[in-house]
Amino acid sequence: MKKINKIVIVGGGSSGWMTAASLIKNLPHLEISVIESSDIPTVGVGESTLASVNDFLWQLGLKDEDWMKECNAVYKTSIDFTNFGGDGLRVRYPFGESTWMGKYNAFDWFIKKSLLGSRSDEYADFALGSGQLIRQNKLTKDDSNISNWNFERDTAYHIDAALFGKYLKNKYSIPRGVQHIDDKVIHVNQDLDGSISNLVTENNGEITADLFIDCTGFKSLLLDKTLHEPFESLSEVLINNKAIACRLPYVDKDIEMEHSTNATALGNGWVWNTPLWDRIGTGYVYSDKFITKEEAEREFREYLINDRDIPRPREMVEQFQMHHVDIKAGTSKRSWVKNVCAIGLSNGFIEPLESSGLHLIYRTIFSLIDILKMKDCEINSYIKGIYNHRTTEHFRTWAAFIISHYAFAERNDTSYWKYISDEIDYINLPHNIPPLFNNGFYYPEDYWKQIDPYDGIPFILAGFNSNIVSFMWKSELYSTMTLEERGQEENNKKEYYIQMQGDIDNYNNYQKEYVKQLPSHYEFLKETIYK
């Protein structure tokens, strides 16, 4: 066993200061330092979170009014996907616990779709009471009239990640005892067994620690560059390797400040849209296998000029500064090697489609704190093994979920989308990524009836126009029936689902009228946060 008393975090930013804040809150007896150079610039374009971010904020004891205003933060209740079917349709994946209106289940919706037809964007309205909030871009803390939606639990945020890191640094971590070392690491010394003995800095000499946490981003100074831990790429199934980031000024805040992150599919990738209080963070994720850097920027600017919601003058868009970024999908084989633990991009990255970046950071932080608390900060190889298994499995599960979005996308109109549709082997996924389905292309009825109400799979299948249960349902139902019995059963089922559709329509009409009188997201923020 090795006792951990001193931790040095290399790299600041959101991952470094989120780690420091959580460690000093939960393990205040530890000596914690962050080495961060003020000479290294950051580009804050807006970061989207998931509702699970509330777990991170709650464990720090932070309330919205404490930090949102300092981070240009706004609320978020949904992830939307536009044009992934090539039809311009916008489908939603809201946060919250699905009730399926209290009397139905996910399986019912897919059967109704098979018998009566349904638009792909209607599943969210059926599954969650917050559908009309998202459609009308309204928001309220009074969740008593919205079925099974809880403001505190089911609302996430759009934030400026750079400002969030600064807030956790200056307003939380340093006041609680975290030491900030403004310096650059110029050399890493290792012991004979490969462990890091010390870091050599430009101005502060040698710095030692019992545990070094690598938060140096894609550079991965400690885990990759020093310890040479193998990187398991997912580029075979997640082909996007480039991104363009841009800050977009508002034209109309009341319309554009949505409480949803929108991903819009283009010819060679997709565009994110993340509204903040003072601007919109936007960008284009693409693969350079199908388009050059210059072509991608041209395609992105044309999209901004011709945006169907808020078109912008060409002369304005041509002035926008574009930041080009390299990205890589995959993860280190192990997150904790020797006396180095990597958190954030230095450990792995999937891609931004489901806003998993910060989610993976704080889930990794929670695992680290659990492990450190297990034996009062005494660590051996078995405990590190538990940590590595936990973090790897969580990463792989999320990777499979994100991969499913591409597997079910209906685009086939460009070389990029044809490759995604026809060439990628989704069944034999690399590096033990969980299969997309538990039983080929069919989930049994029992699965749908017992599905976790927080599970996102039905939203993706429904939203991307997949109805993979219908044929098997009919085959099982009719296997022992005569033709006459089959006809009668079909009529009975249709009557049942016609009634179900009536219930859905009545509920949505009620919600629509209730939501109409609520303030817009922008007005709500002015009243509650930005007074």
Note whether 6 and 199 are within 8 A (CB): no
Told to judge if 76 belongs to the known catalytic residues of this protein, a careful annotator would answer yes
Give the separation between CA 383 and CA 361, rounded to whole angstroms. Answer: 20
User: Across-strand partners of 401?
Assistant: none
Q: Which long-range contacts (CB under 8 A, 24 or more apart) does 492-497 make?
A: 493/111, 493/115, 494/115, 494/116, 497/108, 497/111, 497/112, 497/115, 497/116
Give the separation between CA 159 and CA 46, rounded to whole angstroms. Answer: 6
Give the separation between CA 299 and CA 288, rounded to whole angstroms. Answer: 13
Contacts of 293 (CB under 8 A, 6+ apart): 242, 324
Helices 357-374/13-26 angle, 10° precision: 30
Q: Which alpha helices (DSSP H) does 251-332 contain, by range?
A: 253-256, 293-305, 314-317
- Give CA 139 to chain center in angstroms: 21
Give the separation between CA 277 and CA 160, rounded to whole angstroms. Answer: 9
| Catalytic member of 76, 242, 338, 384 | 76
Note whether 250 and 272 are within 8 A (CB): no
Q: Which stretches of 182-290 are assigned E, i.e. beta strand?
A: 185-190, 196-201, 205-207, 211-214, 231-233, 242-248, 260-266, 269-275, 280-286
- Give CA 319 to chain center in angstroms: 30
Give the separation between CA 239 and CA 291, rounded to whole angstroms. Answer: 12
Contacts of 12 (CB under 8 A, 6+ apart): 34, 36, 165, 169, 215
Owner of token pair 């009409």: 509
Give the separation between CA 124 and CA 386, rounded to whole angstroms. Answer: 37
Tokens representing 399?
């990777």
Residues known to be catalytic: 76
